[in-house]
């Protein structure tokens, strides 16, 4: 019984992931950048700690993109007409994605830039 409830929950979550990447352009952009980052990380032979940080950053950005999309849909459902609070809710959810993306970019720069510089200096 417990396993069937978990499987049902997992099925709904997987549907959410599919909806995220089918209907949200920014999520597809984040997915493309994540794949690019993973490829570069593979090429640069990241350490386990670096991989953990990169995967955490990717997961955080994509998860917040999903939350942002959910907030936008709920706000549109609850307030189809323009309202200042609805705008604030959407803007705040988008800010969460922006802030996490900026943090991920900084972490990526800290990890990748020295490795890329080393490639050019020592090759």
- Report whether CATH 2.60.40.10 matches the domain 2-121: no
pLDDT at 123: 67
Q: Which residues are catalytic?
A: 65
Joined tokens for residue 38: 């993973």
pLDDT tens digit sequence for 41-60: 999 999 999 999 999 999 99
Residue for token pair 């090759």: 123
Q: Is the pLDDT of residue 104 over 90?
A: yes
Mean pLDDT score across all residues of the chain: 96
CA–CA gap between residue 29 and residue 36 (Å, rounded): 11
Mean pLDDT, rounded, for 65-79: 97
Q: Would the pLDDT of 13 be above 80?
A: yes
Please give the span between the terminal C-alpha atoms of the chain, in angstroms, as a whole number.
59
Region 72-87 average pLDDT: 96
Q: The pTM is what?
A: 0.92
Residue 49: C-alpha distances to residues 20, 32, 39, 54 (Å): 28, 22, 17, 9
As a whole number of angstroms, the distance between CA 72 and CA 69 comes to 5
């Amino acid at each position: 019984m417990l396993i069937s409830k978990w499987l049902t929950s997992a099925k709904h979550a997987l549907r959410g992931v599919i909806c995220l990447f089918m209907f949200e352009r920014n999520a597809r952009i984040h997915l493309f950048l994540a794949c690019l980052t993973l490829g570069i990380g593979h090429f640069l032979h990241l350490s386990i700690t670096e991989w953990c940080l990169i995967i955490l950053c990717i997961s955080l950005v994509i998860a917040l993109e999903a939350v942002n999309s959910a907030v936008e849909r709920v706000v549109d459902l609850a307030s189809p007409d323009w309202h200042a609070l609805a705008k604030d809710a959407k803007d705040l959810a988008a800010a969460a994605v922006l802030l996490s993306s900026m943090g991920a970019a900084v972490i990526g720069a800290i990890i990748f830039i020295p490795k890329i510089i080393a490639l050019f200096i020592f090759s």
